[in-house]
A and B are shown apart, each in its own frame.
Chain A
Amino acid sequence: MTDFARLLGALHEGGVECIVVGGLAATIHGSARLTQDVDVSYARSTANLDRVVRALAPLEPYLRGAPPGLPFEWSVAMLRAGLNFTLTTAAGDIDLLGDIPGGGSYEELLPHTIVVDLFGHEVRCLDLAALIRAKRAAGRPRDLEAIAELEALSEERGA
Chain B
Amino acid sequence: MNTIAAALVRHARTRSGLTQRELAARAGTTQSVVGRLEAGVGSPRLDTLERLLGAAGFRAKVELEPIPPEDSVIAAFKNDIDRTLLRQNLTKTPEQRVRSLQALERLMAEARRAGRAARRGG
Contact = CB atoms under 8 A, between A and B. Distances in A.
B119 interface: no
B81 A149 contact: yes
A117 B97 CA distance: 12
Interface stretch (B1-9, B28-36, B42-50): B1-9
A117 B74 contact: no
Given A1-B106, A32-B82, A114 B3 contact: yes
A62 to B, nearest CB: 20
Interface in A102-159: 110-114, 116-119, 125, 127, 136, 144-145, 147-149, 151-153, 156-157
A75 interface: no
B8 A111 contact: yes
A118 B105 contact: no
Given A31-B89, A111-B4, A148 B95 contact: no
A153 B90 contact: yes
Given A27-B98, A32-B89, A147 B74 contact: yes
A156 B7 contact: no
A20 B120 CA distance: 39
B83 A152 contact: yes
B108 interface: yes
Interface of A: 1-5, 24, 27-28, 30-32, 34-36, 110-114, 116-119, 125, 127, 136, 144-145, 147-149, 151-153, 156-157
